[in-house]
Amino acid sequence: MRQRIEELRAVLQKASYAYYVLDAPELADSVYDRLYRELQDLETQYPELITSDSPTQRVGERPASQFVSVQHNIPLYSLENAFTSEDMAAWQERCLKAIREDDEQVVNFASVCELKIDGSAIALTYENGLLVRGATRGDGVAGEDITQNIRTIRSIPLRLNLENPPPVVEVRGEAFLPIQVFDEINAERSRSGEALFANPRNAAAGTLRQLDARIVAKRRLDFFAYTLHIPTSYILPLPQSQWESLELLQNMGFRVNPNKQLCHSLAEVQAFYDRWETERFQLPYMTDGMVVKIDAFTQQDRLGFTQKFPRWAIAWKYPAEELPTKLLAVTVQVGRTGALTPVAELDPVLLAGTTVSRATLHNSDRIAELDLHIGDTVVVRKAGEIIPEVVRVLVELRPSTAEKVEMPRHCPECQSPVIKPETEAVTRCVNPTCPAIVRGAIEHWVSRDALDINGIGEKLVRQMVGADLVKSVADLYELTVAKLMTLERMGQKSADKIIEAIAQSKQKPWSRVLYGLGIRHVGSVNAQLLAENFSSVEQLAAAQPEAIASVYGIGTEIAQAVYEWFRQPESQQAIVRLQQAGLQLIGEAKAIATNASLLGKVFVITGTLPTLKRDEAKAKIQTAGGKVTDSVSKKTDYLVVGEEAGSKLTKAQSLGITCLSEAELLELLE
C-alpha cells in the first residue's frame, strides 16, 4: 500500500502543479477526483502512512483557537513608492550613484518589472523541502502563524519540486483573491445578510485570519511568489539575480506572475508601466502598480537598505481614484517629535471603498504650493490607496470670501514659538515639555510594538498628561493606584490592572525598550538590529557613529540620530531613571567588540575558507566591529581570500586592497 500511496501523491502533486502553476491541466477533473478519493480512502485505512505534504492534508480538521505571533527569519521590508516618471528617474539616479562607487563605468543597470498584486504579503518557510510555516507580514519583524490556512492555497506547494532541497528555504509572495471569486463571495454574503467586503485586498486579509481553515479553503485564495532566500552555504548553484530567482521559484513549484519583464533602461520600464496602466483592467486580479527591482544581487547588496525600504526596489503606483470635495477647515496636529502636520477637514466623500473626511496636507510647503483657501473645492485621492491626501485645488470654483490657509507661528498645544529648519520641510515645536510631544512619546512607549502596556490608550494618556501625573515615560513607573484614582472615572480595579501592566512591561526585552525610546529614524526593525549588535544601553550610548553604521541595515543617517540622542542631557536622565525602575536595558545578543582598529572597516570574503563557513567568518568580523559587504570597491579595507577565489581577488589586487588568509583574519580579529 505504501508504494501505491506514494505513486498517487506524486501523480496528484504533478497534476496540481500543472493546473495551478503552469495553467496547463494534465488530468481531467473527473480523473483527478477519482485518484484523490482513492488516496483518501487508502490514508483512512492506513493513517500511519499519512504525511504532512499529502494533497489530502491541505485543510485542517479543527479550527484554530488563536494565531501565535512568530518572528520572521528574514525581515519583510516595505517598499518606497513612486507616483511619477520623475520619481522613477530620481530613484534610478540614486541607485546609479551608489553603484558607480564600485564601478565608475556603469551607465545603467538591468531591472525586473513585476505587477504589484493587491493582496496580502505572506512569508513561507520550507525545511528539507517541506512547508513548515506560513506567516502574515505583520510589522515586518514578526507576524502571525497562519500555516493551517496557507496549506489550503493550492498554488502553494506543500513540498518543493527539488530532488535535493536546501535545509531551509524562505519564500515571499502575495496571497490574493481573484476578482471573480471576490464577486462570488460578496454575492453570497449579500444573500446571507452579511456585510460586504470593501475590496479584494481586505477580503484576502480577512480570509487569511480566519480561524477555521475550512472556510479559507472555500474562498479559493491564490498566490504569486516573488522573492526567494536560500542560505549562501548551500552547495548547488544559486540564482545571482531576481530574474533567475523567479525562474527557480517556478521550477520549485510556485506560481510566478507571467506578466513580468527584464528591462535594461528606464524607457523600457516606462513602456511596461504604460502598457499595464490600461491593460490591468483586463486581468483576473487587482493590481495597483508595479514593482521595479534591480536585477543583479551584487548590485542589490551594494545598495542595501534604509530604515524602512530596500534601496534597490521601488513600487511605481498607478494613479489612485480621485474625487472632488470641499475644504471646511485646516487643523494642525503635533506629533511626538514636535512636527506640526496640517490636516484638511473635508466634506465627507466615499473614496476607494471608505468614507474620507480628513486628508493630510503634509507641511507648510505643500500648503503654499496648493495656494489653499478655506472653502476651496479640492481633489482628494488616497496616496498609495492608503492615506488620503489633497492633490490639487479647483481654483475656478473658489468662493470670493475664501480665506488663505497659513501655518501657525506658535504651537497650537503649548503656544511656544515654532521653527522651520532650512534643511527640513517640517515646522516643529521644540519645547520638550509640550503636552503633545509628551503624549506622543508615552503613546509610542505603551504601543504594541514597544512596551505593549495594556490598558493605557490615547484617552488615558491625555488624562494623565493633563493632570500632570506623567511628564515622561519614566514617570509611568512612579505611578500608584492612589494617583491613578484621582483621574475621572478611574476605579480601583482598573487602576490595579494598569499598575500591574506597567510592572509587567519591565520584562520586555532590550530591543523593545530601545524602540520605545522613540529615537528619530529608529523603527522596530532597526531597534532589533541595534539590540542584536549592542547588548546593553551602555554599549550603544558609548558607540561612535561609524560603529553604529557598521551594523548591516543601519545607515549613516540613523547612526547619527542614535549618537546625537544619547548626547542629550534629558535622554541620559531618562536612561538613568529607567534603569532605576528595573527596565531591561541589557540583552543576551552579541555585542560589538571594542577593537577600535576594526570599527567601521569594510571586509569582503571570496572563495572557500579552510575551516570557517562564510557566515561564521562574517559573524566574527561584525562582532569585532567590522562590516561585511559582497562586492569589492575603493571603500573595501580587506579582502579575505579562500580557495578558488575569482574576480574579486583580481579587482582587489588592482585597487591595492589588503588581502588576508583565514589565519591572518583570525589573528587580526584577536
Residues 605, 628: Cα–Cα separation, whole Å:
8
Q: How far is CA 127 from CA 133, 169, 305, 406, 436, in A?
A: 9, 7, 27, 59, 49
Cβ atoms 566, 488 nearer than 8 A: no
Comparing C-alpha atoms, which of 362, 522, 490, 519 is closest to residue 426? 362
Does 93 appear as a known binding residue?
Answer: no
What amino acid positions are annotated as catalytic residues? 116
Long-range contacts (CB closer than 8 Å, 24 or more residues apart) made by 30-38: 35/8, 35/11, 36/12, 38/8
Task: Check the annotation: does 391 bind a ligand.
Answer: no
524 annotated ligand binder:
no
Whether 14 has a binding-site annotation, put simply, is: no
DSSP 607-660: SB-SS--HHHHHHHHHHTT-EEESS--TT--EEEE-BT--HHHHHHHHHT-EEE
- Tell me whether residue 515 is annotated as binding: no
Was 95 annotated as part of a binding site? no
Extract the C-alpha cell encoding 268: 523600457
Is 571 annotated as belonging to a binding site?
no
Instruction: Report the 10 Å Cβ neighbour count for 31.
Output: 12
Q: Is 643 annotated as a binding residue?
A: no
| Cβ-based neighbour number of residue 514 at 10 Å | 24
Alpha carbon distance 568, 524 (integer Å): 22
Q: Are the C-beta atoms of residues 197 and 182 closer than 8 Å to each other?
A: yes
Residue 69 labeled ligand binder: no
Which three three-digit cell numbers place residue 79? 517598499
Q: Which residues pair with 360 in a beta bridge?
A: 343, 389
Half-sphere exposure of 438 (CA within 13 A, CB side): 23
| All three cell numbers of 90 | 530620481
Residue 238 CA: distances (Å) to CA of 113, 169, 241, 247, 248: 21, 12, 9, 12, 9
Edge-to-edge strand ranges of the sheet holding 658-660: 627-629, 602-606, 638-641, 658-660
How many angstroms separate the CA atoms of 129 and 543, rounded? 42
371 is annotated as contributing to ligand binding: no
Give the count of beta carbons closer than 10 Å to the beta carbon of residue 424: 12
Q: Are strands 627-629 and 602-606 parallel, antiparallel or unpaired?
A: parallel
| Number of residues that make up the chain | 670
**What does the alpha-carbon distance between residue 139 and residue 524 come to, in Å, rounded to a whole number?**
8
Alpha helix stretches (DSSP H) within 46-161 = 85-99, 147-150
> Is 634 assigned a ligand-binding role in the annotation?
no
Q: Is the sign of the CA dihedral 436, 442, 448, 454 positive or negative?
A: negative
Query: Residues annotated in the binding site for NAD(+), as ranges?
Result: 29-33, 78-79, 114, 137, 174, 293, 317
Query: Residues annotated in the binding site, as ranges?
Result: 29-33, 78-79, 114, 137, 174, 293, 317, 411, 414, 429, 434
Query: Residues annotated in the binding site for Zn(2+), as ranges?
Result: 411, 414, 429, 434
